[in-house]
Chains A and B, each alone.
Chain A
């Protein structure tokens, strides 16, 4: 039953060529085109946030003033955080890759509400415009967390524009979540039960639950913050009987679950990739699926661990600390299942797999260092040091961003219809791995020795801590390696669009439905209804060297 011969996939019109012109993109309801526009926008903001990061690292490469003044430094690290969190990591995987592959993985023609999907893209752009306004009209120097009363009283920065932007981005995120949940519930083919869904879909589903339940609370919090700053209504202002710690509770009630909005889709991508490139059925399917839901639910109960030193009661801190450790259980379940999948697998180290393995390694470090921060006594010592900076960069960048890159490489042939250079891909992955650890590992060391985060300068700390300079120097150097890796990646991916070899239907031998349609897919996703089976059963797929494609054999 070779399906390849039935029709030539490349002769048919695909979603990229079916209609032409800018308007056909701006007014499209096709989830694939919306996903591609999301992808391009999100990567543009990743570049912007990356430039801010390089500015920060360059300033810190030597003690004293290096390239900018103090206020500018405050703007830089705040904008780096705000842009990366709100415009890159949170929408990243779900809105770009999820939008593209989720309906195809379910064998559906589109998401449940295509207009809502387009509206979410416009809201994303709308929110982004506000951040551009922030850049032009005075910047932002409050830290991305907008803590009161600093955010309501500091004179120079455009807090209101940033807050309104984040509010709009929140609704964009909610719209995507509503769409995904409704799509998963109502658009699956009859033959695909809940436990025949790919694990990436489970991860997106769990993510959507968090987006849905947490984001509105951020919405109302930001609304109150904007009113507070504009009119002084006093909700969070102690001089007007308000409570600034209440702001932190509200903020982290969203923003802690939001870290699982960031990591869960990355875990989903890893589940796909580890299984495909080990040529082995995923180990513990149900455990991985349920652990996504468990993380989504536990994630709501631990926000207080951001406030161990913010004046909550000792009892509350103890409870939040204990609950924090509970989240590590489902995370560890996933890691052990991935390792068991690898065990005795037939591992092929193609580019997506390099990033998939990198994810497991870096997430391991990021997750285990979280235990130090979840313990009350060590956290008090490590709060607001570079240790925490390193910890969350290992999880947000080392895990989520790396998984995002893994996903981009894994589905790149499907999205663009072109193959990129695997050799360049692997070399870049190695460079990125070295650069990343070069940047952030020294921060664990400096942080545990007391280097405070967000400091503009460390010259006066040097007499007591001469090693701080070496740590910053290593870290800044590593950041240039990371930048070089991303430039190379942009290079070979762009080259592949122009000059890449046409992608076959199933270049990596995946068993999900997205590999049963042509690359790139037609507008309606499938010309013939896909055959639903076990998404991790590779026994029926054989590599065909003539077409470089994996074909299904009876």
Chain B
């Protein structure tokens, strides 16, 4: 099903000889051959992915520090996440990585219907993932669990442009009553004072949760944009054995986004 990399390179090498006389389509003027262009693009993409890992690396590092400092707060915090929704999203993303890999293979072997179909399925998986994420975020917002929620609401409502609406105080306090009830659902009865204390302690966990998943969500959206771009170009028939770089590179990016989620899911949802 997957084209052997060697076969692809041989095809590109043969094309190299032809390109000196006959300029290949989509070969940029400053490259000598499609193979050089592909090699440069692939290296560039890997370098970019490296920067993405380091971008998330800061948050993973902060997660480690806060979890090491406050293990009990992370234990509390994860009770407020729905691990079934998280698991569903994990499956959706892993499946989308499969269809993305299929798309790359289809582009290399010039099977346009498979290419377009796989890209559409991948895109729909992205939509599904973001839909589930929206449901989860909505619930957190309704329960007042988003750090800085009052100021975010004030900011989004353009309160900072109006003279009559002063900024809400900085600070973060989820509803203690909700926290008490939620802990009770998980079999732990606490009094009001304890619930207030535990509510205040939810901050580091939800700071990490929203920091990491929001950044990841933005990356999913960016990936969906990129997939849409290669989908349009696939429908136009731009890709084939000599020129499939963009599909390959978007695929790499999508796999990275998938991979980061595979780490996020256990770190945030499956704490013991």
Contacts and interface: CB of A to CB of B under 8 A. Distances in A.
Interface stretch (A217-225, A282-290, A469-477): A217-225
Q: Kindly name the residue among A113, A185, A227 whose own CB sees the greatest number of chain B CB atoms within 10 A.
A: A227
Interface stretch (B9-17, B46-54, B111-119): B46-54
Interface string A112-135: 111010000000000000000000
A232 B170 contact: yes
B51 A174 contact: yes
Contacts of A233: 147-148, 172, 207, 210-211
Which interface class (under 10, 10 to 19, 20 to 34, 35 or more) fits B? 35 or more
Contact of B44 (A109, A112, A221, A250): A112
B222 interface: no
B20 to A, nearest CB: 13
Nearest to B28: A114
B203 A234 contact: yes
A39 interface: no
A215 B51 contact: yes
Contacts of B203: 234, 240-242
Contact of A186 (B43, B148, B201): B43
Interface string A287-301: 000000000000000
B54 A217 contact: yes
B152 interface: yes
A534 interface: no
Nearest to B29: A109
Given A113-B44, A233-B148, A241 B204 contact: yes
Interface in A198-225: 212-217, 219-221, 224
A334 B211 CA distance: 43
A534 to B, nearest CB: 24
A181 B56 CA distance: 22
Contacts of A109: 29-30
A178 interface: yes
Contacts of B210: 233
Contacts of A272: none
B44 A234 contact: no
A303 to B, nearest CB: 13
A467 B109 CA distance: 79
Contacts of B211: 224, 227, 233, 235
A234 B148 contact: yes
A220 B61 CA distance: 11
Interface residues of A, number: 42
Contact of B47 (A114, A181, A240, A241): A181
A231 B29 CA distance: 48
B87 interface: no
Interface string B2-42: 00000000000000000000000000111000001001110
B55 A232 contact: no
B81 to A, nearest CB: 18
B44 A182 contact: yes
Contact of B155 (A187, A230, A235, A242): A230
A110 interface: yes
B47 A212 contact: yes
Contact of B171 (A112, A177, A186, A232): A232
Contacts of A537: none
Contacts of B204: 234, 241-242
B151 interface: yes
Nearest to B36: A186
A243 B66 CA distance: 9
B40 A216 contact: no
B207 A235 contact: yes
B57 interface: yes
Interface in A169-183: 174, 177-179, 181-183
Contacts of B148: 227, 230-234
A237 interface: yes
A448 to B, nearest CB: 36
A358 interface: no
Nearest to A218: B58
A250 B152 CA distance: 25
A150 to B, nearest CB: 14
B59 interface: yes
A220 B212 CA distance: 10
B62 interface: yes
Interface in B64-112: 65-66, 69-70, 73
Contacts of B41: 112-113
Contact of B48 (A108, A178, A240): A178
B11 to A, nearest CB: 19
A232 B40 contact: no
Contact of A231 (B54, B56, B147): B147
B151 A220 contact: no
A113 B62 CA distance: 34
Contacts of A179: 44
A212 B47 CA distance: 8
B161 to A, nearest CB: 14
Interface in B142-191: 147-148, 151-152, 155, 170-172
Contact of B50 (A113, A114, A212): A212
Given A232-B171, A240-B203, A241-B201, A246 B43 contact: no
Interface in B180-233: 200-201, 203-204, 207, 210-211, 215
Given A112-B44, A178-B47, A240-B172, 6 more contacts: A112-B40, A214-B54, A231-B152, A231-B155, A234-B147, A240-B147
23 contacts: A108-B30, A109-B29, A174-B51, A178-B44, A185-B43, A186-B36, A187-B30, A187-B40, A212-B47, A213-B51, A219-B55, A220-B58, A230-B148, A230-B151, A231-B147, A232-B170, A234-B203, A235-B62, A235-B207, A241-B66, A241-B201, A243-B66, A250-B62
Interface of B: 28-30, 36, 39-41, 43-44, 47-48, 50-52, 54-59, 61-62, 65-66, 69-70, 73, 147-148, 151-152, 155, 170-172, 200-201, 203-204, 207, 210-211, 215
Top 4 A-B pairs, shortest CB-CB distance: A232-B170, A231-B148, A220-B58, A216-B54
